[in-house]
Structures are given as C-alpha cells and as structure tokens.
Amino acid sequence: MKHEAHGTQQPRHTDKIGEAASAAQRSDSLVQSINQRFLKLMHWELPVHIVRWQDEADKLRFIRTVVFIQEQQVPVELEWDEFDAVGIHALALNSEGQPIGTARLLPDGHIGRMAVLKQWRGMGVGRAILQAILHELTQRRASKAILNAQISAIGFYEKFGFRPEGAVFLEANIPHIKMILSLENI
C-alpha cells in the first residue's frame, strides 16, 4: 500500500478486525436463523421422554441449574424441593442425547419447572415438552392442567389454550400468574 505524507490515512488493522468480527457475528446470527427456520419447516420431532427424578436427576438438575439458578437468579433453596421425587418429568434431548429442556408434572396436575436452555429457545423445544406433559395428563384423564406462568411466558401458554386466572404474584422474586387449561374436550 502506498503511503502518502499528507491527506489520506492508512486504514487501521484494528478496523479490519472489527469489521471481520461484525461479519462473523452477522454470519452466526444468520446461521442460527436459518437453522431455526429449517427446523420449523421440517416439523422437527424432538425426543421428549417422561422420566422419574430418581432415574435422570443429573440431567434435570443441569437444565434447571442453568436456567433458573444461573440465568434467572432463583435462590438454590427455592429451586429444589420434595416435589421432584413425587412428580414425573419431561426431558428433551438433542440429537447427541444431551439435555436441553425439562418440565415437571405433579400428581395433582400442576405443571412447573418448565425450562429450556437459552440456545434452544424458539426452536419448538418448549412446545414439544408441553405437548408431552399434556399428553400425560390426558392419559391420566385429568380434567384440567394448572401452572404458574412467568409473565413473559403468558403468550406461549395461551397458544395451547391456557387462560390466566387471578392476580399477578411473585414467586422466587419473578412475576407469575396462575393459568388453567380445561382438558375435558381434548
């Protein structure tokens, strides 16, 4: 490159690095967007297993630790309770068999602890988990499904027919609302 003493500046090496980093970020975003669209177009079937805590505690604990304790700052003492052992759990695995999402179903029909790892959100994992839990409830001939939804997830649950009931309340310092789905006509 010809350097001139006056008038023009030589492009900085760091500018090119910044441009390359920005291009790489755009490329990563584009790849993720394409992957999400492809999975939706292909009606990707995600394996969701109904499991017991005693059999898959490590995988279930991993997901909930990442999502609730680390990401959402839920206190450890509030996350783990005696209901894990008496409920059943939906466990979603990726193609390599790694845990990516979970939910808990208690004997009384309460759904809770629904969690999907951040990099898997928006790809149908939550939908597959909730469908597995609702299928389990219909097999039990339950008349309704009940959950406490984080306010940010109301729209997700409404797509399944859940309806808010009552006032907003705090659970683990996160705003929630009770939601109910009638299973009588399913």
CA distance 183 to 186: 5
Strand partners, 171: 174
Amino acid (1-letter code) at residue 95: S
* Closest to 160 in 3D by CA, of 175, 148, 145, 138: 145
pLDDT in tens, the chain (186 residues): 444 444 444 445 445 554 644 554 554 555 555 555 444 444 456 789 999 999 999 999 999 999 999 999 999 999 999 999 999 999 999 989 999 999 999 999 999 999 999 999 999 999 999 999 999 999 999 999 999 999 999 999 999 999 999 999 999 999 999 999 999 866
Query: Domain coordinates of the chain in residue numbers?
Result: 14-43, 45-182
Task: Pull the structure tokens for residue 150.
Answer: 């984080």
User: Tell me, what's the pLDDT at 75?
Assistant: 94
CA distance 81 to 1: 67
CA distance 10 to 29: 31
Determine if the pTM surpasses 0.85: no
Matching CATH number, 45-182, of 3.40.50.2300, 3.40.50.300, 3.40.630.30, 1.10.760.10: 3.40.630.30
